[in-house]
Amino acid sequence: MADTPFAPVILGNEPGSFPHSVLAERHPAIISQVRDAFPYGPGQHRALDELLKSCTEGTVEPLPADAPDRDRWQEWDLADHTGRSWYDVPWLWSESWFYRRLLQAVGYFGPGAWQGVDPFRPFKRAELDAPETGEELAALDGLRDLPEEDRARALLHGSLWGNRADLGFRLSAAGAEAREPAPALVADDSETLWSLLPPGGAGTLVLVADNAGRELVPDLLLIAHLLTEGRAARVVLHVKPYPYYVSDATTADVVDALRRLRTAPGAAGEYGRALWSALGDGRLDVRAHPFSCAPLPYERMPGDLRADFAAATLTLLKGDLNYRRLVGDRLWPPTTPFARVTEHFPGPVGALRTLKSDVITGLSARTEDALVAAEGQRWRTDGTHALIQVSPAGRGASAATSRR
């Protein structure tokens, strides 16, 4: 990134800042929610107590010698951060570390009876079963008679705004759901997006999912539309290999959402059944790559994942965390071009995100000025603004074109 301005990596050590509040308040709140949701035994309670102490006033500790992912975390900078306060290492890193340690505390990685029991499952299930989800699905019937472009646009916006449904975010942004979203996007490259996914195109879309439940459902509906209308011949859906950031989608969550969709009445049920058969014949594929839970920016992705993204016509990343990982978790000047900070990406890439952390790029000076004049800096984190950003040419794009 030759002439990209210097931008500091975000740490969590500034009291009063959003990252600090996540470490000092959100993580302890998550521990107590998880503790209340399961009949854990004394060993798990002890481990949760230790985690609470470590994450609020302790330092990063090594993983046990028999941890199955020890080598991976060594590659992911664990040795560099061991012994340092959680607040003094990159915020992106300490957040991922928190979820890794929480799963360890409740026995998720086993061995033992609690192996594989998702500590966030009750919260995710409650969302999927909520009456609002049924209402959103029923509303799909109203789209039936619209021209294809209008349905595509409505489903794209459904997927975008679905990103407000983030359970971790709601823990610390009280009233976030109740606040009205701002309808105008702070950046909107949707024309470029649609030019990469034209009707009758034979391309592959990679969609990197974010939250389960009320975000994953509209993501799946968008995918169903793209496949059934021939805007994508194939879709690869990337999810998390283990529970993460409370509501992030895993394969089990995809299955839950598909079962919910398949049995819904009307258009939603049709979409659900179309997705079910697309999985059966390989037009839709689900992947859960270990790097999806890595505490690192995508710039450091491993070769096999890079190859997956390079082979896609377009990779769309959902949500705030994926955005931070895509552009780098740094305090960029907001007018830094999105295309420049995503140059490292191996192919065309886009972001669908509601703004829930300080990181932002690709704004016009006019948009930034208007946001600051109206709201100070609150627009960055309160989840009421959204963007669609697309860069049609990552570094590997020319090489990948021949494969598309």
Ligand X SMILES: O=P(O)(O)OC[C@@]1(O)O[C@H](CO)[C@@H](O)[C@@H]1O
Query: Nearer Cβ to ligand X, position 313 or 322?
Result: 322
Decide whether 324 or 330 has the Cβ nearer to ligand X: 324
Cβ contacts of 111-117, under 8 Å, gap ≥ 24: 114/40, 114/44, 117/38
Tokens at 353, concatenated: 């995100």
Residue corresponding to tokens 């997705």: 275
Q: Which is nearer to ligand X, 127 or 166 (CB)?
A: 166
Min CB(133)–ligand X separation in Å: 17
Looking at the Cβ atoms of 238 and 356, the one nearer to ligand X is: 356
Residue 205 bridge partners (DSSP): 235, 314
Query: Least distance from C-beta 173 to ligand X, angstroms?
Result: 8
Strand 349-354 vs strand 386-391: parallel, antiparallel, or unpaired? antiparallel
Measure the CA–CA gap between 246 and 29, rounded to whole angstroms. 11
With beta carbons less than 8 A apart as the criterion, state whether 321 and 210 touch.
Answer: yes
Q: Which residues bind ligand X (CB under 6 A)?
A: 22, 95, 163, 166, 168-169, 210-211, 245, 319-321, 324, 356-357
Beta carbon of residue 132, minimum distance to ligand X (angstroms, whole number): 18
Q: Among 244, 169, 223, 216, which Cα is nearest to 318's?
A: 216
Provide the minimum distance between the beta carbon of 75 and ligand X in the complex, in angstroms, as a whole number.
23
Nearer to ligand X by Cβ, of 73 and 169: the residue is 169
Alpha carbon 167 to its chain centroid, in Å, reads 12
∠ CA 373-378-383, nearest 5°, is 125
Of the pair 313, 329, the CB lying nearest ligand X is at 329
Q: Compare residues 211 and 336 and give the one whose CB is closer to ligand X.
A: 211
Query: Residue 225 or 356: which CB sits closer to ligand X?
Result: 356
Q: How many C-beta atoms lie closer than 10 Å to residue 282's C-beta? A: 8
Residue 214 tokens, joined: 């009320």
Residue 293: CA atoms inside 13 Å, Cβ hemisphere, count?
Answer: 26
- Token pair for 18: 């959003």
Distances (CA, A) of 239 to 6, 223, 363, 387: 32, 14, 28, 21
At 72, the amino acid letter reads R
Which one, 363 or 400, has the nearer CB to ligand X?
363
Smallest distance from ligand X to CB 273, Å: 28
Distance of closest approach, residue 146 Cβ to ligand X, in angstroms: 28
CB of 371 to ligand X, least distance (A): 17
Q: How many residues does the chain have?
A: 404
Quote the DSSP letter at residue 43: H
Q: How far is the CB of 211 from ligand X (least distance, A)?
A: 5
User: What span, in angstroms and rounded, lies between the C-alpha atoms of 130 and 147?
Assistant: 30
Q: How far is the CB of 248 from ligand X (least distance, A)?
A: 7
